[in-house]
Amino acid sequence: MTGAARNFLTLAIIYAICGMILGLVMGISGSHSQMPTHAHIMVAGWLMSGFFAFFYHLFPDINRSRLAMAHFWLTAASGAVMLVSLYFLFAGNPGAEPITAIASTLFFVAILLFAWIALPVLRRAV
């Protein structure tokens, strides 16, 4: 595995570890106030990054493109900021909300970029 596929799979594994740690901390402490953050880490981080990794692995020509790497970096940066700011938001810091909103919007832009990349590839693959 190379390129964006390798980067996305590495990111997915990091998110899985972080999500599991947060889940364990919540379970051990009995405080589940970070459940939304945990869910976002596991879905937006672990599952989506893993899906992107396998998509790019299945289409190696796209995997090596600059657009795929732009998709990776936009997803990685916006996702990390979104999840950290969500943590602070649900820890009782409402000042984190504007940061969460901006990062979430950029994460959405990353998903739109993926659609821009993937849909033509999928149409040609038929």
Print burial letters for 63-101: b (CB count within 10 Å at least 16), e (below 16): beeeebeebbebbbebbbbbbebbbbbbeeeeebeebbe
**Secondary structure class of 49 (helix, strand, coil):** helix
Domain boundaries, the chain: 3-124
Looking at residue 126, what is its pLDDT? 62
Query: Taking the model in full, what pTM does it have?
Result: 0.91
Per-10-residue mean pLDDT of the chain, 126 residues long, equals 94 97 96 95 96 95 92 97 96 96 98 96 80
Answer yes or no: are the C-beta atoms of 4 and 56 closer than 8 Å: yes
In this prediction, residue 1 carries a pLDDT of 83
Nearest-angstrom CA–CA distance, 34 and 74:
25
Class at the top of the CATH hierarchy for domain 3-124? mainly alpha
pLDDT of residue 39: 96
Per-residue confidence (pLDDT) for residue 12, from 0 to 100 = 97
